[in-house]
Amino acid sequence: MFYLTEVEDYVRVDPKLFGLPTVEAVTNQLKETYKDYYDKEMGKVIGIVEVINVGEGVIIPGDGATYYISTFKLLVWKPELQEIVYGSISEITNFGAFIDLGVMRGMIHISQTMDDYVSFSKANSLTGKSSKRSLKQGDLCLARIVAISHKGAEPKIGLTMRQPGLGKLEWIKEDKIKKDREAKKAAKAEEKAAKAKGGKK
């Protein structure tokens, strides 16, 4: 889920930025500080939206930098359990697939790719035994977050596509067409039965 987060903190501005106007120096420092930044509570920082306020600078003896109490807005993405995410398959392995979610990567176990018996093929794809559906690098998918582990620098995101409305975009489209066709068929059968019943009176 994407969030706009307002933060108030002391920003340590490196001496190399001293020649710039204060707000610009603070903005540049924030961009550097929050590049590739992830926090379990906050999420993954995507960018600095704006610097709202920069207070007076403080110099701490023994440190050549200046510290400014600043208020700023960050755009962050925090993975949430049960959230539906969109991404493309970045890698296929014999145990599943990795999905590039734009901000982070998620992993989908082979058993969670589709509602079928799935095998890893030599063509570097995952194929369903009955459905003959295949998943390969570059495929666009919808998945649901079912697990988040915070061991390590970045979270490990576990995904599933074994639920209605999830999976490779082509499969979702095929399933919708099939469902619509079945609904029309059922409606015609009901209509026919109602006419037959009406005719018996």
Last residue of a domain, one of 77, 98, 121: 77
Number of folded domains that form the chain? 2
d(CA 85, CA 175): 19
d(CA 85, CA 144): 6
Q: Are residues 54 and 100 in the same domain?
A: no
Strand residue runs (E) in the chain = 2-13, 38-39, 43-59, 66-77, 84-93, 96-100, 105-109, 118-120, 125-128, 134-136, 140-149, 156-160, 167-168
Chunked in runs of 10, what are the mean pLDDT values of the chain (201 residues)?
A: 93 92 94 91 92 91 90 95 96 94 94 92 89 93 94 88 92 90 89 77 49
Q: Are residues 119 and 48 in the same domain?
A: no
**CA 39 vs CA 3, 32, 52, 192: distances in Å:** 13, 16, 22, 61
Residue 101 lies in a domain: yes
Residues contacting residue 80 through CB under 8 Å, at least 6 positions apart: 1, 145
Q: Are residues 100 and 71 in the same domain?
A: no
Residue 180 lies in a domain: no
Q: Are residues 41 and 64 in the same domain?
A: yes
Q: Are residues 93 and 126 in the same domain?
A: yes
Residue 50 lies in a domain: yes
Instruction: Report pLDDT for 55.
Output: 93
Q: Are residues 125 and 165 in the same domain?
A: yes
Last residue of a domain, one of 18, 43, 77: 77
Instruction: Report pLDDT for 199.
Output: 60
Residue 53 lies in a domain: yes
What domain range includes position 93? 84-170
Domain holding 104: CATH number?
Answer: 2.40.50.140
